[in-house]
Amino acid sequence: MTNHYFDHAATTPMHPKVIQAMLEVMQGSGGNSSSMHAFGRAAKHQLNRSRDLISAAIGCKPGQLLFTSGGTESDNAALIGAARAQRKRGKSHIITSAGEHHAVLHTCEWLVKEEGFSLTVLPIDSFGRTSPELVQEAMTPETGLISIMHGNNEVGTIQPIEEIGRIARAGGAVFHVDAVQALGSLEYRLNELPVDLMSFSAHKINGPQGVGALYVANGTPIDALQHGGSQERKRRAGTENIAGIVGFAAAVDICVNERENKQLFMDELRKRWIELLHNHVEVPIVINGSEQHYLPHIVNISFIGVDTETMLMNLDMEGIAAASGSACTSGALERSHVLRAMQLPEEQINSAVRFSFGLGNTLEELEDAAQKVGTIVRRIRNNY
């Protein structure tokens, strides 16, 4: 059976060049980057070189880049650290949107419950977009933090972060952007953007799991969450994951060199996949998200009348990896909070599947996969 991996938005396979770069570190002599001896200095050199490469790729200074264990930690460090720092300045109101990743939403909810912050969760429109006008309306003199993602991980919708960032800056609020899903698809020049904090993760761009980064603009008020060492300019204590960071840098380097061609090819895959499904599937299909502002590697599709969980189980049995874009809890599928926030009809929400493309996918394999999807849909409908 031929397998098809269409779940790159969840995690990506590591690029061979990333694996090789990490192996060289792991098979080396080792060394703690905080140590003074030659082994420590060698590790420090690898750390600095990686930081230089990544910061240059995203348009910031090396000292503005903080390494973390991944996107979730980056989001938590940004939100909790900035919220606490801003509260010292008399600003304890947070604004976010209903379409955010749970790493942001759950952290904001925790800040409300455990630390007494006030929170405004803005609605998103039927395309998954956050309105800058609603952000402006929600602003108060107490607003200290705004968090809006750049590219949605479930429907791929790209948010107007430049407009929102200007609103935040004018109101004296720290602006955080979750760019975990967008890195590798969108070009960044952070020194030109009205963004104070931005979260990244390596495993979404063919790098290793367990490593990420947080951009912190100069002058951004943020309290450290981890204590016990002076690593990362005293902003994140703990010995750095040198092999992971080197792998992250290698993945970013590949992204920079291949971004334009990758964007074009991912968009070609996305459009061809939609076309093939229209040809092979005998039920109405609906594309969820924006037709204009979208990440090229993600497409969220509702197969009207076909239950999401049933569809995913059958896809898996046929060797096709896809996702619902939401979490499974105790074996029960939790319907997408993003699609609900978009106020889509129940029949769309209950039949939605996310397909996401990346390294290793080809136009040729889409034909085989689409035929399998058509067969699956016919089988499911005949069993109803």
Active site residue 328: yes
Nearest alpha-carbon partner for 127 in 154, 101, 104, 148 = 154
* DSSP string covering 101-126: -HHHHHHHHHHHHHH--EEEEE---T
What local confidence, expressed as pLDDT, does residue 329 receive? 38
What local confidence, expressed as pLDDT, does residue 381 receive? 87
> How do the domains of the chain map onto residue ranges?
4-12+259-383, 16-254
Q: Label the pairing between strands 65-68 and 93-97.
A: unpaired
Beta strands in 134-254 (DSSP E): 143-147, 174-178, 197-201, 212-216
**Backbone dihedral angles phi then psi of residue 69, each to the nearest 5 degrees:** -90, 0
Q: Which CATH superfamily is domain 4-12+259-383 in?
A: Aspartate Aminotransferase, domain 1 (3.90.1150.10)
The answer to whether 149 touches 102, Cβ cutoff 8 Å, is no
What local confidence, expressed as pLDDT, does residue 362 receive? 97
Report the DSSP beta bridge partners of residue 299: 355
In the chain, which stretches have pLDDT less than 70? 326-333, 384
Residues 6+ apart with CB under 8 A from 71: 101, 103, 178, 180, 199, 200, 201, 204, 212
Q: What one-character DSSP code corresponds to residue 174?
A: E
Residue recorded with tokens 């890195």: 183
Q: Label the pairing between strands 328-329 and 320-321.
A: unpaired
Report the DSSP beta bridge partners of residue 94: 119, 145
What local confidence, expressed as pLDDT, does residue 382 receive? 83
Nearest alpha-carbon partner for 174 in 234, 85, 102, 58 = 85
What local confidence, expressed as pLDDT, does residue 4 receive? 98
Instruction: Read off the amino acid at residue 247.
Output: G
Rounded CA separation 319/317 (Å): 5
What local confidence, expressed as pLDDT, does residue 256 receive? 86
How many angstroms separate the Cα of 287 from the Cα of each of 151, 178, 300, 356, 366? 16, 24, 6, 13, 17
**pTM value?**
0.96
CATH class of 16-254: alpha beta
Q: What share of the chain is helix, strand, coil (3-state, %, to 5)?
A: 45, 15, 40
Rounded CA separation 364/49 (Å): 39
Q: pLDDT digit string (tens) for 222-268?
A: 999 999 998 998 899 899 999 999 999 999 999 988 999 999 999 99
Rounded CA separation 203/18 (Å): 11
- If DSSP codes are grouped into helix, strand and coil, which group holds residue 28? coil
Query: Which of 60, 108, 255, 328 is the catalytic position?
Result: 328
Q: pLDDT digit string (tens) for 322-359?
A: 999 754 433 456 789 999 999 999 999 999 999 999 99
The answer to whether 337 touches 326, Cβ cutoff 8 Å, is yes
Query: Residue 355: how many CA atoms within 13 Å on its side-chain side?
Result: 26
